[in-house]
Every structure is written in C-alpha cells, then in structure tokens.
Amino acid sequence: MSIKLENVTKTYFTGEVETHAVKNVDLEIKDGEFIVLLGPSGSGKSTMLNIISGLDNPTSGKISIDEAVISDMNSKQLTKFRRDNLGFIFQQYNLLQTLSVKENVEVGREVSLLPFTVEEVLEQVGLSTQADKYPFQLSGGEQQRVSIARAVVKNPKIMFCDEPTGALDEEMAKEILGILQKLNEKYKTSVVLITHNPSIGAMADRIIKLNSGEVVEIIVNKNKLNASEISWG
C-alpha cells in the first residue's frame, strides 16, 4: 500500500501557545518501501508516524493510503482500517504476561482477515523453540521478537515501527532490524520506522529527515546495507 500526505499539519494548543509538531508536509511513500523517519527528539517524527498510521488526526491536510482517505475517517472507521491493514511495533513490548509466546502471537492473528500461521511467523523471528515460554522467561530482545511476530502474523500491508530498538543493545538491535528487513523483503510489506539513530538509515530505501516538524531532506539509498553491516553509533 502507498501512503500520500498533502499539505499535512498537526498543531497542538497549550493555553494560547501553538506548537506545530508537523508543518505543511507533502510526502509519498511507495508500496513495499522501507522508510526511516530520522530526527532528534522533538523533531516531529513520532507525531508524523501517529498521523500517517491513523493513531492521531492531522489538524489540516489530506492523508491517503491507497484509495482510502484516512484523514476523513471517524474513530470507528480508523479502528477498522488499522485492524485490517496495519501492524505496529513499539519500543515497549506490551506483551500479555499471563500468556505464552504462542498465545501472545495468536492475539494478533485473531484480529486479522488473512493472517499467517503462528508457527510460520515464530520460525521467521527465530522463536520456534520458545513458543511455550512466558514473557518473564525471555530476554528483552526475545520479547521484542514476540511483539514483532504478533504484528506480522496479521499479514499487515504496512508496518509502523516506533523506535523498536531503543531499549536494546547493539547486537540485539541489529538482530531485530534484520528481522524487519527480512520481512520487508519476503512479504513486500511496507515498513515505516522512526529513529534518532542515523546509522539505521543505511538499511532503508529512503531516509526522511525531520526537524521542527518539517521534512528538511530526503535521501535515497542506492546501496542499502544489511542490518548486520550497519556501523553503529
């Protein structure tokens, strides 16, 4: 699925103070692209991800995903659209502690129209032998893999990733990024990943640099790196 933003702005009001978290953005993300939204804290990248994915509404402008104009949808319509088409991976794993790995992934599968099998996805993320364990028995990197599997099992058209490696060390972060890269290549799922780490941009098709809510530069990677080849920091 492709994403198109036309003159999109998101403004927050605190008393009489206006803050433009996203300002007059025009942007197109092609079907199957791996995109990194890069910027320092406060640059607007989290707000951008939230409004592109329908978790929040723009103050003005138009956002389309294929033929669907999500900026015109109400809350109920957005919820259905996200459930049917989108996957989300966050820095916090948000796993259900009383459920096993397999059961956590099944939660994602149950809300999908055309899901993958749990077994196939656990194999893709390297957790086949951990299926019956509980989150407290896993490392941070393994828990993040479960959250990825839960998002992927839905067979989403677009995967939105909010600092998915922020809480991990370099070795584990590269493993997680490698899984996302493999899923993008294997299933042709569009990936939109936000980060403040410029090194991660080397594995993207394009890097969208943000500052003060504006797109300040777009870099096309002609020679993408594998996640394992990234020079960290």
Structure confidence by residue, pLDDT tens digits, 135-154: 999 988 899 889 989 998 88
pLDDT (tens digit per residue) in 8-67: 999 988 888 888 899 999 999 999 999 999 998 889 899 999 999 999 999 999 999 999
3-state class (DSSP) for residue 209 = strand
Q: Is the pLDDT of residue 191 over 70?
A: yes
Q: In what order do the strands lie in the sheet with 60-65?
A: 17-29, 3-14, 60-65, 68-69
Q: Is the pLDDT of residue 92 over 70?
A: yes
Candidate from 111-115, 168-172, 214-218 with smallest mean pLDDT: 111-115
What mean pLDDT value characterizes the chain?
A: 91
Residue 124 binned pLDDT confidence (cut-offs 50, 70, 90): confident
- Give the pairing of strands 190-195 and 158-162: parallel
Q: Domains in the chain, start-ordered, CATH in brackets?
A: 3-229 (3.40.50.300)
> At 166, phi and psi to the nearest 5?
-60, -30
Looking at residue 14, what is its pLDDT? 85
Distance CA 101, CA 128 (A): 9
Token match 């707000």: residue?
A: 47
Residue 233 binned pLDDT confidence (cut-offs 50, 70, 90): low
How large is the average pLDDT for residues 168-178? 86
Are 29 and 5 contacting, i.e. CB atoms less than 8 angstroms apart?
A: no
Looking at residue 94, what is its pLDDT? 86
Residue 219 binned pLDDT confidence (cut-offs 50, 70, 90): very high
Q: List Cα–Cα distances, 199 to 44, 68, 225, in angstroms.
A: 19, 33, 10
What is the pTM assigned to this prediction? 0.91
How large is the average pLDDT for residues 204-219? 95
